Amino acid sequence: MVVSLSFGPASLSPAQLWHDLLAGPGAHTADSIIFWQIRMPRVVLSFLVGGALAVAGVILQDLFLNPLTDPYVTGVSSGAALGATIAIVLGLAGGLWLTGMALIGGLATLLLVWTAARRRGRIDVYVLLLAGVTASYLLSAIITVIMIHANDDLGAILYWLLGSFSGRTWTDVETALVAVPFMVVPLFFTKEMNILLQGEKRALELGVDVERTKVVLVVTAAILTGIAVSVSGIIAFVGLIIPHLVRLLVGPSHRRLLLLSMLMGAALLSVADLLARTIVAPTELPVGVVTTFIGAPVFVYLLRRGRHA
């Protein structure tokens, strides 16, 4: 699966791939440059983003005990989008600035939503959910206002908002690599996450430090989302559908669920990106559109088949 992802508008044969891979990034043939400077960062990035969104989706769905939750409900993505929009309007669209602004926007939103949901030292997850959704709408409204006044940059903003891996470089990959430790964090909380499926009160009764667990998990999910959005824009559906899909396949127990979600998220998004850039080549579809096209029918099929077959 990994190997097949290295196809693109300019095809590289498997033998050529292997040759380029062995030759390393130092070679200066045209194929090698396509492979190492264009194709490879994209594939790696889609892997990382897919994994991050899927893990964030698992965390938030199970924390909110709400199957319709996706990584964007915390408002972090909208915050990141606003940050990116401002960066674009201010003419700071060059790689790191945009990513940095997006991250700052995302984390600032998290802080805001977090403060709203905090009462007597406890985080009320329902308030968190509502505050997140509300913040999303508010921030989207602000983005809309900015877009109306930003005639010149409208295309760039829209392109970013729809989510895409086009033109991403190794710098973006480096940013996305920061997500890797945060993808590992929830693996240390699989028991707590399983117990929390019975609700917060029962988790307390069974000895779980619920508040600490919530803090760690929500912050982790928010950072994963923030990083993913900051490097690739808002890619729909991965964080919503992958956890459901994997739950149908292996059940709700978290060790398997998290690991497989990470892999499936990575795989889905890289396949989706492959399709996004080849299906209507030489133009590109937004990758979020492709994820939806792949995910929806597969999900409906699995839902109908159930886990019992």
Partner 1 sequence: MSGLDTSPSPIVSVREASFAYDPERPVLKSVSFEVEPGDFVGVVGPNGSGKSTLLDLIDGVLAPTSGTVLINGRATRQYKRRDMAREVALVPQHFALEFDLTVREVVEMGAYCRGADCSPASVAAAALGKLGIAELAERRFPQLSGGEKQMVVLAQALVQNAGVLLLDEPASSLDVSHQLRLFELLKELNADGLTVICVLHDLNLALTYFNRLLVLSQGGVAAWGPAEEALSPEVLEAVYGVRAHVHHHGGRTYLTFSPRAHGQARGRGHVHLVCGGGTGSSLMRELTDSGYEVSAGVLNALDSDEVTGRELGLSMAVEAPFSPIGDDAHAENLRLMTAADVVVLADVPLGHGNARNLDAVQAAVQAGKPVWVAATLGDNDPDGLAVVLSGASLRRYGDEREVLQGVAQWQDGDGGSEPGPE
Where do contacts with partner 1 occur on this chain (CB under 8 A)? 65, 191-192, 194-195, 197-199, 201-202, 204-210, 247, 251-253, 307
What end-to-end distance do the CA atoms of the chain give, in Å?
26
Nearest distance, CB of residue 206 and partner 1, angstroms: 5
Nearest distance, CB of residue 115 and partner 1, angstroms: 23
The smaller minimum CB distance to partner 1, of residues 91 and 199, is found at 199
The smaller minimum CB distance to partner 1, of residues 46 and 69, is found at 69
Measured distance CA(98)–CA(102) in Å, rounded:
6
The smaller minimum CB distance to partner 1, of residues 134 and 307, is found at 307
The smaller minimum CB distance to partner 1, of residues 59 and 272, is found at 59
According to DSSP, the residues that pair with 123 across neighbouring strands are: 118
Bond preceding residue 282 cis, omega within 30 of 0: yes
Nearest distance, CB of residue 199 and partner 1, angstroms: 6
The smaller minimum CB distance to partner 1, of residues 39 and 247, is found at 247
Three-state DSSP class for 233?
A: coil
The letter for the amino acid at 76 is: V
* Contacts of the segment 276-283: beta carbons below 8 A, 24+ positions apart: 276/164, 276/165, 277/8, 277/9, 277/42, 277/166, 278/7, 278/8, 278/9, 281/8, 281/9, 282/9
What totals of helices (H) and strands (E) does the chain contain, helices first? 15, 2
Measured distance CA(261)–CA(57) in Å, rounded:
9
Nearest distance, CB of residue 19 and partner 1, angstroms: 48
Nearest distance, CB of residue 56 and partner 1, angstroms: 19
Contact in structure between 288 and 237 (CB atoms under 8 Å): yes
Nearest distance, CB of residue 307 and partner 1, angstroms: 6
The smaller minimum CB distance to partner 1, of residues 166 and 253, is found at 253
Nearest distance, CB of residue 196 and partner 1, angstroms: 10
Measured distance CA(226)–CA(256) in Å, rounded:
24
For residue 264, which phi and psi values (nearest 5 degrees)?
Answer: -65, -40
How far is residue 300 CA from its own chain's centroid?
22
Measured distance CA(101)–CA(117) in Å, rounded:
24
The smaller minimum CB distance to partner 1, of residues 195 and 227, is found at 195
